[in-house]
Amino acid sequence: MIVSRHHDIDMCNGPLFGKILMFALPIMAMNILQLLFNAADMIVVGQFSGKEALAAVGATGALINLLVNTFMGLSVGTSVIVARDYGAGRPEEVSRSVHTSIAVSVIGGVVVMFVGLAFCGPMLTWMGTPEDIIDLSVLYMRIYFLGMPANMVYNFAAAILRSVGDSRHPTYYLFISGVVNVFLNLFFIVVLGMSVDGVAWATVTSQYLSAALILVCLYRSSLSIRFIPRKLCIDRKKLEALLKMGIPAGMQSALFSISNTLIQSAVNSFGSTMVAASSAASNVEGLAGTTMNAYYNAAITFTGQNMGAKKYERIDTIAKICTALVFATWIVLCGAILLFGRPLLSLYTTDPEVIELGMERMYIMMAAFFTCGIMNVFPGLTRGMGYSVLPMLCTLIGACLLRIVWLDTFFTWYRSIFMLFICYPITWSLAGIGQVASFFYARHRIRKRAALEAEATPPG
């Protein structure tokens, strides 16, 4: 239970569609808000500092994700272990999971901060970042990584709240910090005349604000997920469970980010105009991606709680509902993005060449974006059932390795924007097939285990 009972969702009883949607909508709002606030960074810097500054911020995205997502994947372990303990009615276990997760988030945030500060320059050079923007990119990243401890704490704490059915409070706090971020962007850039450094300092400030707000929420919680600072320590058994689920998820995110980093290097080879176009288009496409990510969070949380309650028969229904929501989102939202693509891109820049190149990318990506949603939702179901290595392997083969092969073959042979970006829907599709197969394998194992448990249990 959280601050008040009305924020909880009973995931283990009754119809699921309305509850999954009710749970996913605040996460969807949170993700879109986060995207919009990130977009505000790029819009402000693009409109007031030029396309080079826009490209400089955009060029850092793949590398930031590479360094951050390995540790952020551990929050998946938090989602699973807290949801299971909560679904099984084990408050003491929930408490140990919460304090272990917060401790891990602080340590992970500090590690990522120092790694980012030390290696951002050499890695941006290795990626072939254009010379006219690399100094701005390094400056942006070095400031940005000062906020990593707060970023980690917020995401782990948000995972804790979502695991017990509260997807609203993280959205509230993100909205508050995001508004602060936008005002600071305008103040630093328009009033003080700063450039990418102003955007970075605004982001860091808002990250520490959101972390403080969500920790206060956990501190004021009334039952098992309450955060008590003096209890902050790492429980060995909970750490093992968190790592068991989180390390494969983190490796999957890292592998995915590696492939995206290689693609970003290919984008960089087309020059700073293409970097700016790809960055703006990617930000617009994120409206669909972050929406579908909400269904991943719903899948892992609902599945985890029902696993804890041993209500295995509800997992198929969760899978069907999340899949239907992915297709509905693709038809409505991706269609709208293509329809209003040019006006959306014009928010970032008035350069007609940047807008046209951005549209070229979006036509390729949006046509089969539902495959990205399928690739994301089914790992949530599989991890919720306790299988975390299989989704990682599917991503390793279907996304990371195949993208590397694509870049070294087809893109090298027929070097063009189309051949570069078409690798996304192709690898999404192949990885998605593997993720669906992994889900059915895990479901078969769970049903078999449940049957054995039923046979071993004496009647009456």
Q: Establish if 216 belongs to a structural domain.
A: yes
b/e map 157-174, b = 16+ CB within 10 Å: bbbbbbbbbbbbbbbbbb
pLDDT of residue 383: 86
CA 294 to chain CA centroid, nearest Å: 9
- Domain assignment present for residue 306? The answer is yes
What percentage of the chain has pLDDT greater than the value 70?
89
The per-residue pLDDT for range 61-98, each reduced to its tens digit, is 666 766 676 676 777 777 777 877 887 778 888 888 88
**pLDDT averaged over every residue in the chain:** 83
Q: Which residues of 367-399 are buried (b: 16+ CB within 10 A; e: fewer)?
A: ebbbbbbbbbbbbbbbbbbbbbbbbbebbbebb
Measured CA to CA, the distance from residue 186 to residue 397 in angstroms comes to 43
Identify whether 444 is part of a domain.
yes
**377-397 per-position pLDDT tens digit:** 998 899 888 887 888 888 788
Helix axes 61-72, 91-126, angle to 10 degrees: 150
In the predicted model, what is the mean pLDDT of residues 209-232? 87
In a domain, 457, yes or no: no
The pLDDT of residue 37: 67
pTM over 0.75: no
- Mean of the pLDDT values across residues 262-267? 84
Q: Is the pLDDT of residue 14 over 80?
A: yes
- Determine contact, residues 151/34, Cβ cutoff 8 Å: no
Domain encompassing residue 164: 5-449
pLDDT above 50 (res 4): no
Instruction: Output the DSSP codes for 154-198.
Output: HHHHHHHHHHTT--SHHHHHHHHHHHHHHHHHHIIIIIT---HHH
Is residue 429 classed exposed, middle or buried when 0-12, 13-18 and 19+ CB atoms within 10 A define those classes? middle
Q: What is the token pair recorded at 316?
A: 């198929």
Examine the pLDDT at 326 and tell me if it is beyond 90. Answer: yes
Q: Is the pLDDT of residue 5 over 50?
A: no
Whether 460 is covered by a domain: the verdict is: no
Taking the C-alpha atoms of residue 210 and residue 368, their distance in angstroms, rounded to an integer, is 34
* pLDDT tens digits, one per residue of 413-452: 999 999 999 999 999 999 899 999 999 999 888 888 877 7
Do the domain assignments include residue 455?
no
Which of 117, 120, 121 has its CA nearest to residue 146?
117
Give the other-Cβ count within 10 Å of 213's Cβ: 18
Structural domain count of the chain:
1
Check residue 287 and give its pLDDT.
Answer: 83
In a domain, 456, yes or no: no
Residue 392 domain flag? yes
Residue 263 has pLDDT above 50, yes or no: yes
Of 205 and 224, the structure prediction assigns the larger pLDDT to 205
